[in-house]
């Protein structure tokens, strides 16, 4: 009634304890001893250390089981969990934490992924730790994805993709461009911190309420860790206050469950903001990009090397690497492509899924280079892109046919929304104005996790209300509304009749996770099919009662009507006609399994159930005295296939683009010797409303996809991908000779580049 929503942080249970953690202050160290003698004297304190992991599989992870529930032999980054304490209140838990004595032996640490690959680098993980198994089928499918093997030293995983013959391609190129681009790691900054509340209903039966985007993976991983049947683990997910990938895969759930097991009481743990910063990041990355192009502007060869900084644990890095190798060459028809993607262990917080899943770092590289090439060739940046973009029905690098290709429409829309800056006369030799403007644009491609699986179960009650059971998570993206719209439309009842249940693995069916912009496409389609099934059952009941053919019936305004007449039957009456009383239910179920996957080794097949296409254009104003820049206007166009809820599509687009602005201007985690320097909101601001221009045009392009419900595709990530390079290109347009190649582009960085450009003899003519 108040509109208030319950999150995992709001939950309370009788007898519930609350938790605090002791974390490593060293980036890499052997844990020699943990003495809890004095901490145990704090009344009510229950302490969990490596000594309490007996009877469990002590390591977990969605691909490699390299992440200990709490530190076992070593700590691997500043913030790694050493011990956790549950107590009656946070003060007692804090007191006990302060009394735990840990003896470390500091080890050499490595923070730069390229340095981590040198033979002299300290190794984070003992190869013997990986004998446990290479992964779970829930999250990665080794045979299908061409992924196999274990980490090799600090090289967590690699993927190689090839199409055509790059040597031949470069030999035939008129110009070759080669540059390296990089991105600092950033943090998700979801408003709600990670939170979980766990209790055991018996020795083998665990219940956990948690702020996860992926209840079924939490379930299988907890079952794995505690050696119980998956069905003995019940994962319940309340509303989640933002995710952006930061709540995919188990985070704090294993340790909360272990603590509750030891305490024999419910335990709730809510991370502090500073801890959230140590829990997961977006991969820092460096991208070497070599592109061969003909004089008339056709891209003919591209070689890409992406090195992702994976941090201390593998997390989902292997999938990031495997999923992005086939898309790293961009949304362009390039006959000769070779890609190497690597993820590397370093002594920093683990990196994992983040809106865009490793793609924004690559788009940053290829779209920055695209403008430099256009400039060098004397071609308009829009025309250079148009000449090379994929078109509807094209064959992709993997051999598959591309359906629903809206990228050129996206590009045209943003190019028209934000025209080039009109300039008169020559700029060289003129005194520089304090405020100058530039325009830039960029476009992108992203795949979605394929294959994937979603199940929906829909129940019609005799009162005409429709219950939708599915395991997608409402993380603020509007999933609940979309499912309700789909179900209401498929049955022919009003939106108010539909209720979408929250995930509860004892009740709601399987889903592959709230990730990869997949829910509308998969869960939405499953709900549509399940509801159509119910509709058929209901019409059969009504046809019997009314003694008409089923095809003569329609459902509208919550009633069944004989077409072209005033004869109607209410839904309760249809139930009464069948069951004698308004009792019973009608059930509809559907399983949607997106088909595809790439053949091991060759990477041929169907890479993506649908493709995300987007483009962004911006106009920036730069203060040449200080390097400070602001967005004058922005346009972001995303191909949504079909907008089931246009308002929500616009909001997703705007929200994603705003995250792109943050990554371009102000966000970037800084570590010094492994110590975090800006891991709190005091020193790590995120965009505020004032940082987003008033002139913000969100454009929805609709290139329908044959497999999506009503033609819809996912839209959760698209709007983020092209924003940063569009801004970089606008800065290059505003400031001749200035090209920033690292994100973020802080005013101080622009100033430094400007100072360099000003002192260069023979400033690049633009």
Q: Which residues bind other proteins (CB under 8 A)?
A: 90-91, 94, 272, 274, 434, 623, 625-628, 665-666, 670, 677-678, 680, 682-683, 685-688, 690-691, 746-748, 751-752
Taking the CA atoms of residue 687, residue 692, residue 696 and residue 698 in that order, the dihedral angle to the nearest 10 degrees is 10
Q: Give the Cβ contact number of residue 66 at 10 Å.
A: 24
- Tokens representing 523 are 């869960």
β-bridge pairing 17-23 and 67-68: unpaired
CB of 626 to other proteins, least distance (A): 5
* Cβ proximity to other proteins, 417 vs 750, nearer residue: 750
* Cβ proximity to other proteins, 566 vs 694, nearer residue: 694
**C-alpha distances out from residue 595 to 106, 129, 356, 610, Å:** 49, 34, 22, 11
* Cβ proximity to other proteins, 142 vs 693, nearer residue: 693
CB of 639 to other proteins, least distance (A): 30
CB of 760 to other proteins, least distance (A): 18
Q: Coil, strand or helix: which one is 690?
A: helix
CB of 525 to other proteins, least distance (A): 39
CB of 97 to other proteins, least distance (A): 12
* Cβ proximity to other proteins, 560 vs 727, nearer residue: 727
Q: How far apart are CA 248 and CA 364, in angstroms?
A: 24
CB of 659 to other proteins, least distance (A): 13
* Cβ proximity to other proteins, 32 vs 90, nearer residue: 90
* Cβ proximity to other proteins, 420 vs 747, nearer residue: 747
CB of 414 to other proteins, least distance (A): 24
3-state secondary structure 611-644: EEEEEEEEEEEEECCCCCEEEEEEEEEEECCCCC
- Tokens representing 597 are 């996957």
CB of 669 to other proteins, least distance (A): 10
Q: Give the Cβ contact number of residue 587 at 10 Å.
A: 15
What are the backbone dihedrals phi and psi of residue 89, each rounded to the nearest 5 degrees, phi first?
-145, 165
Return the axis-axis angle of helices 215-226 and 253-263, rounded to nearest 10°.
50
Q: Coil, strand or helix: which one is 376?
A: helix
* Cβ proximity to other proteins, 187 vs 447, nearer residue: 187
Listed in order, strand segments (DSSP E) in 522-662 are: 553-556, 559-562, 568-570, 586-593, 597-598, 605-606, 611-623, 629-639
* Cβ proximity to other proteins, 549 vs 748, nearer residue: 748
Angle made by CA atoms 367, 372, 376, in degrees to the nearest 5: 145
CB of 666 to other proteins, least distance (A): 4
Going by C-alpha positions, the residue among 604, 601, 597 that lies closest to residue 449 is: 597
CB of 270 to other proteins, least distance (A): 12
- Tokens representing 108 are 């050499």
CB of 752 to other proteins, least distance (A): 7
Give burial (CB, 10 Å; 0-12/13-18/19+) of 747: middle
CB of 433 to other proteins, least distance (A): 12
Per residue in 161-192, is it b (16+ CB within 10 Å) or e — as a string?
bbbbebeebbeebeeebebebbbbbbbbbbeb
Angle made by CA atoms 139, 720, 527, in degrees to the nearest 5: 50
* Cβ proximity to other proteins, 106 vs 748, nearer residue: 748
CB of 577 to other proteins, least distance (A): 58
* Cβ proximity to other proteins, 137 vs 682, nearer residue: 682
Taking the CA atoms of residue 497, residue 502, residue 508 and residue 509 in that order, the dihedral angle to the nearest 10 degrees is 100
* Cβ proximity to other proteins, 513 vs 627, nearer residue: 627
Q: How far apart are CA 462 and CA 459, in angstroms?
A: 10
Element (H, E) at 441: strand 435-447
Residues near 573 by Cβ (< 8 Å), separated by ≥ 6? Answer: 545
Return the axis-axis angle of helices 381-388 and 359-377, rounded to nearest 10°.
120
CB of 750 to other proteins, least distance (A): 10
* Cβ proximity to other proteins, 434 vs 557, nearer residue: 434
* Cβ proximity to other proteins, 273 vs 600, nearer residue: 273
Q: How far apart are CA 71 and CA 53, in angstroms?
A: 10
CB of 509 to other proteins, least distance (A): 41
CB of 273 to other proteins, least distance (A): 9
* Cβ proximity to other proteins, 595 vs 626, nearer residue: 626
* Cβ proximity to other proteins, 489 vs 691, nearer residue: 691
Element (H, E) at 289: strand 284-293
Listed in order, strand segments (DSSP E) in 54-185 are: 59-60, 67-68, 74-75, 81-87, 101-106, 155-163, 175-183
CB of 247 to other proteins, least distance (A): 23
- Tokens representing 486 are 């789909």
Q: How far apart are CA 676 and CA 348, in angstroms?
A: 9
Q: How far apart are CA 246 and CA 283, in angstroms?
A: 12
Phi-psi region of 149 (alpha: psi -120 to 50; beta: other; left: phi over 0): left
Q: How far apart are CA 465 and CA 456, in angstroms?
A: 16
* Cβ proximity to other proteins, 167 vs 191, nearer residue: 191
Query: What is the Cα 527 distance to its own chain's centre?
Result: 23
* Cβ proximity to other proteins, 61 vs 627, nearer residue: 627
Going by C-alpha positions, the residue among 78, 48, 24, 125 that lies closest to residue 277 is: 78
- Tokens representing 430 are 């003129």
- Tokens representing 197 are 């509340």
* Cβ proximity to other proteins, 321 vs 664, nearer residue: 664
CB of 665 to other proteins, least distance (A): 7
């Amino acid at each position: 009634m108040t509109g208030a929503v319950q999150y995992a942080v709001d939950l309370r249970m009788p007898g519930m304890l609350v938790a605090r953690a002791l974390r490593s202050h060293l980036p890499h160290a052997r844990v020699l001893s943990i003495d809890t003698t004095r901490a145990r004297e704090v009344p009510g304190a229950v302490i969990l250390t490596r000594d309490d992991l007996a009877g469990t599989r002590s390591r977990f992870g969605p691909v490699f089981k390299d992440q200990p529930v709490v530190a076992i032999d070593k700590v691997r980054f500043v913030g790694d969990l050493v011990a956790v304490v549950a107590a009656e209140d946070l003060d007692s838990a804090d007191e006990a934490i302060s009394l735990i004595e840990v003896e470390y032996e500091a080890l050499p640490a490595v923070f730069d992924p390229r340095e981590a690959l040198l033979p002299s680098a300290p190794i984070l993980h003992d190869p013997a730790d990986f004998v446990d198994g290479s992964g779970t089928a829930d999250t990665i499918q080794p045979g299908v994805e061409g992924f196999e093997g274990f980490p090799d030293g600090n090289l967590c995983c690699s993927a190689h993709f090839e199409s055509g013959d790059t040597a031949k391609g470069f030999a035939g190129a008129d110009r070759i461009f080669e540059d390296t681009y990089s991105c600092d790691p950033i943090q998700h900054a979801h408003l709600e911190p990670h939170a979980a509340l766990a209790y055991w209903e018996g020795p083998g039966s665990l219940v956990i309420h948690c702020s996860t985007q992926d209840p079924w993976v939490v379930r299988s991983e907890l079952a794995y860790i505690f050696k119980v049947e998956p069905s003995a683990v019940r994962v319940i997910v309340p509303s989640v206050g933002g995710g952006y990938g930061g709540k995919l895969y188990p985070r704090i759930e294993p340790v909360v469950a272990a603590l509750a097991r030891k305490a024999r009481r419910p335990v709730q743990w809510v991370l502090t903001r500073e801890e959230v910063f140590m829990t997961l990041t977006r991969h820092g990355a460096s991208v070497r990009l070599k592109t061969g192009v003909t004089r008339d502007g056709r891209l003919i060869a591209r070689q890409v090397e992406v090195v992702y900084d994976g941090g201390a644990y593998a997390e989902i890095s292997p999938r990031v690497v495997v999923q992005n190798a086939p898309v790293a060459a961009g949304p362009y028809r390039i006959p000769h492509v070779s890609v190497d993607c690597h993820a590397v262990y370093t002594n920093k917080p683990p990196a994992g899924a983040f809106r865009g899943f490793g793609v924004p770092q690559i788009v940053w590289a290829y779209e920055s280079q695209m403008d430099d090439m256009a400039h060098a060739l004397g071609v308009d940046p829009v025309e250079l892109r148009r000449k090379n973009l994929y078109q509807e029905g094209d064959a992709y690098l993997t051999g598959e046919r591309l359906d629903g290709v809206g990228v050129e429409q996206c590009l045209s829309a943003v190019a028209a929304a934000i025209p080039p800056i009109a300039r008169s006369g020559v700029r060289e030799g003129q005194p520089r104005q304090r405020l100058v403007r530039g325009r830039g644009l960029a476009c992108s491609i992203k795949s979605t996790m394929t294959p994937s699986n979603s199940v929906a179960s829909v129940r019609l009650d005799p009162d005409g209300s429709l219950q939708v059971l599915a395991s997608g998570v409402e993380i603020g993206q509007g999933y609940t509304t979309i499912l309700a719209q789909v179900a209401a439309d498929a049955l022919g009842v009003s939106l108010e009749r539909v209720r979408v249940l929250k995930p509860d693995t004892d009740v709601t069916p399987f889903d592959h996770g709230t990730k990869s912009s997949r829910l509308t496409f998969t869960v939405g389609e499953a709900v549509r099919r399940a509801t159509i099934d119910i509709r058929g059952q209901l019409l059969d009941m009504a046809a019997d009662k009314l003694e008409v053919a089923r095809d003569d019936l329609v459902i509208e305004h919550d009633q069944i009507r004989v077409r072209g007449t005033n004869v109607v039957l209410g839904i309760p009456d249809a139930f009464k006609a069948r069951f004698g009383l308004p009792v019973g239910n009608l059930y509809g179920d559907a399983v949607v399994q997106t088909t595809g996957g790439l053949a091991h080794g060759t990477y041929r097949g169907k890479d993506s159930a649908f493709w995300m296409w987007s483009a962004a254009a911006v106009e920036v104003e730069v203060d040449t005295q200080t390097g400070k820049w602001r967005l004058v206007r922005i346009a972001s166009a995303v191909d949504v296939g079909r907008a089931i809820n246009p308002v929500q599509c616009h909001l997703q687009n705007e929200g994603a683009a705003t995250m792109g602005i943050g990554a371009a201007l102000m966000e970037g985690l800084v570590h010094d010797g492994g110590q975090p320097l800006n891991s709190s909101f005091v020193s790590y601001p995120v965009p505020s409303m004032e940082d987003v221009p008033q002139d913000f045009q969100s454009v929805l392009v609709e290139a329908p996809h044959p497999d999506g419900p009503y033609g819809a595709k996912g839209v959760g990530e698209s709007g983020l991908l092209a924003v940063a390079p569009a801004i970089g290109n606008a800065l290059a347009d505003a400031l001749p000779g200035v090209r920033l190649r690292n994100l973020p582009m802080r005013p101080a960085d622009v100033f430094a580049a400007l100072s360099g450009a000003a002192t260069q003899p023979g400033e690049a003519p633009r």
